[in-house]
Amino acid sequence: MSVWAAILAGGSGTRFWPLSVPDRPKQLLPLAGEQPLLVQTVRRLDGLVPPERIVILTGALLIDRVAALLPEVPRAQVFAEPRAASTAPALAWAAHWISQHDPGAQLLSLHADWAVGDDRAFRSAARTALGVAEEYDVLVTVGVKPTRNDPALGYILPGKPLGTARTVRRFVEKPRPTRAALLRQRGALWNTGLFAWGVARFLGEAGAYARELKAGWPALAAGDVSGFFAAVRPTAVDVAVLERTKRLAVVTGGFRWDDIGSWDALLRIRRTDARGNVVVGNVTVGDDVRRSVIWSESEHVAVTGIEDMVVVRANGHTLVMPTGRADHLKDLVERV
């Protein structure tokens, strides 16, 4: 089996402002450890996909930074998306490019902004998904068992067994907490966004079901990537293909996974001190600080007497907000 990987590394990471800025968004930041998230993502593929079979899809502003971070990935395989159009156009482009170089390839699709607790278990689930995709000629998504009733994530209800996988009965996107609790009781999984498929099968299913991409196919076939992105309608691959195809399976992964969507997520994925705080950088905290994220890239920050707060000093700005308010940050950044 010839396995490639497409890493989705676009996006501006607004919810990690002020640390995340347009020319250094969250995927280039060491949010889950000592290395940037994108570097961790590539390292996670060690022994599964060699660097010469990795493509990275990112924004034009980030090409040089990404190439410098990952010199082992061929520079020609760091793709600059002509415009941000979500995941369906990006993955169609990647699959088309790979199909021209390796027509029989299997493809793993993954995002550059995840926290994964066990890289070995991650690779095991990816191998299982690739095997199912090849054996049954289906598109495969990897799910994990939820650990909380999170209304910000997508859920999958598995169906009938299909070898080591199961068919997919239904997707449920961002349910209310009460419904998320019910879905967990019924055995639903979080949709991690780790996908596996043959490039030929994916392009066939996208051509059949992704009506948002229809106007762009002639341009892509002609090698006109800019024309392809100009013609398509922005849409997620989950909506454009996975929710419509009849050839879909889900594999259950045994790894801890978190979509690092906001500052609050660091309280789940990073080691905390005795009072439940995540403290990074030039920071002094009092003994009365609880369950807070305190981060400073340069200047000294001292905090005392706070609970359930986010305090960040970076790039000449200071953010102070309660945890649980990530939805308000985008509007604030636009005002700034």
pLDDT in tens, 256-314: 999 999 999 999 999 999 999 999 999 999 999 999 999 999 999 999 999 999 999 99
Other CB atoms within 10 Å distance of the CB of residue 24: 17
- The CA–CA distances, whole Å, from 159 to 4, 13, 31, 145, 156 equal 28, 34, 35, 15, 9
Top-confidence residue, 108 or 12: 108
What residues does 115 pair with on adjacent strands? 258
Residue 66 has pLDDT above 90, yes or no: yes
Task: Read off the pLDDT of each residue in 9-29 and give the average, rounded to a whole number.
Answer: 93
Residue 210 has pLDDT above 90, yes or no: yes
55 CB burial (10 A radius; 0-12, 13-18, 19+) = buried
Put the strands of the sheet holding 293-303 in their side by side order. 278-285, 293-303, 309-314, 317-322
Distance CA 244, CA 122 (A): 26
**DSSP states of 197-215:** EEHHHHHHHHHHH-GGGGG
Q: What is the structure's pLDDT at 327? A: 87
Residue 92 has pLDDT above 90, yes or no: yes
Distance CA 20, CA 37 (A): 12
Nearest-CA neighbor of 38 among 60, 67, 61?
Answer: 67
Residue 13 has pLDDT above 90, yes or no: no
Q: What is the structure's pLDDT at 300? A: 97
Supply 327's token pair: 């939805």
Supply 254's token pair: 């045994």
pLDDT tier at 1 (50, 70, 90 boundaries)? confident
Decide if 286 contacts 49 (C-beta within 8 A).
no
Q: What is the structure's pLDDT at 11? A: 85
pLDDT tier at 251 (50, 70, 90 boundaries)? very high
In sequence order, what are the residues at sequence separation of 6 or more whose Cβ sits closer than 8 angstroms to the Cβ of residue 124? Answer: 253, 254
Mean pLDDT value across the chain: 96
Q: What is the structure's pLDDT at 203? A: 98
Q: What is the structure's pLDDT at 2? A: 96
Single pTM value for the model: 0.95
